[in-house]
Amino acid sequence: MSYSRPLMDAVAIVLVGLSVLCATIPILVFLGLVWWFDRYDREPFWLVALTFGWGAAGAVTLALIGSTILEYAIGAVFGAETSAIAVPVLVAPLVEEPTKALILFLVARSRHFDNMTDGFVYGAAAGLGFGMTENFLYFTSVGSTSDVGAWIGTVVVRTLYSALMHGCATSVVGAALGFAQFRGWVAKLFVVPFGFAIAMTIHALWNGFITADAAAQNGLFTLIDFVAFPLEFLSIFFVFQVCLWDEQRTIVRELAEEARAGLLPTAHVAILSSFLKRSRRNWLEPGIPRVSYVRTATTLAFRKNQERRVTGSRRTFYTREVERLRRELALVRSRAVA
């Protein structure tokens, strides 16, 4: 069935308009979920949003420039056919993963970046930002053709797969940075490149299977992609949960020591290390602000753990931080109403 030109133009306008909503709303939901899952020591949302913004604007711009240059270079040397295969499979992972991760090296220098869990959060934020902008470009491009079926398929696949792939890949780089954060230069020299290798592999596999299916046109490679990526996603999510469990163990270990020293009641250790228990009200003495108490005690636990891992001038900083947080926790507890 053929449609009139005015009708096709109207459909295209509607699809382009919907593309804005479909590109932003699901990704913002994913971003909120990632931030919420970091239940023991949530990162400042402004910093997560800034990282997301870099992925959506800065990383996309740099990646577009880098990919365009390499595409022309490969095409000039090896021909257009080779370039069409090499760009999505090799160039895209090699260019896009470093550009997304650039912001992570800056965030890692802040006092908010403590461990692998934080790396997962900031990395996912940068990747999701990149995925959002990329989705918008794809959605509007397909929507402008007035092909409703193709547009719906593109929205579903890119929202549930491509954008999440970007988030997962960059979260691995962030986790590697978080692991190496307090383990010296040797760890950074080996672990961070390993994180990049995993991220690029995830990216290359996704693009590679899609590219292979475009050539074979039998749907087999796309089916493999649709099965393989959820397994990769679940594996990364499992490691993320292990990191959260390690945070819980750190809180128990470090605050139990403080409880023995009399800084806080022993009963509070189990409460502070449980997201559900510490979210409840009426477990603190009247007059003590629950949010401040939980945040200060949790930060104290992490700073003590970090103090043990660093040396030199950095150790001096964390020693002072531990002393400051102990004084702050004592001050918060002093507000209890007798």
Instruction: Write down the domain spans for the chain.
Output: 5-217, 250-333
Q: What is the pLDDT of residues 75-117, one digit of tens each?
A: 999 998 888 899 999 999 999 999 999 999 999 988 889 899 9
Report H helices in the chain.
5-37, 45-53, 60-78, 80-86, 92-107, 116-143, 148-157, 163-180, 184-216, 220-260, 267-272, 275-279, 290-309, 312-333
Q: How far is it, in rounded angstroms, from Cα 320 to Cα 310?
A: 13
Q: How far is it, in rounded angstroms, from Cα 35 to Cα 42?
A: 7
* DSSP class per residue in 109-169: TSTT--SHHHHHHHHHHHHHHHHHHHHHHHHHHHHTTT-HHHHHHHHHHIIIIIHHHHHHH
CA-based torsion, 143, 146, 147, 152: positive or negative = positive
Radius of gyration of the chain (CA): 24
Q: Is 41 exposed, middle or buried (0-12, 13-18, 19+ CB in 10 A)?
A: buried
Higher pLDDT among residues 131 and 188, named by residue = 131
For the cut 90, the answer to whether the pLDDT of residue 204 exceeds it is yes
Write out the two tokens for 25: 């709303």
For the cut 60, the answer to whether the pLDDT of residue 14 exceeds it is yes
Smallest CA-to-CA distance from 118 within 64, 208, 30, 42 is with 42
Q: Spell out the residues 6+ positions from residue 44 whose beta carbon is closer than 8 angstroms to its own.
A: 112
Q: What is the pLDDT of residues 219-266, one digit of tens each?
A: 899 999 999 999 999 999 999 999 999 999 999 999 999 999 999 999
**What's the whole-number average pLDDT of the chain?**
93
* Confidence tier at 9 by pLDDT (50, 70, 90): confident
Backbone angles phi, psi at 308, to 5 degrees: -70, -20
Q: What is the pLDDT of residues 279-336, one digit of tens each?
A: 998 899 999 999 999 999 999 999 999 998 887 778 888 999 999 999 999 999 988 7
CB-side neighbour CA atoms (13 Å) of 147: 10
Q: Is 3 exposed, middle or buried (0-12, 13-18, 19+ CB in 10 A)?
A: exposed
| In the chain, % of residues over pLDDT 90 | 79
CA-CA distances (angstroms) from residue 318 to 58, 261, 302, 305? 33, 19, 10, 9
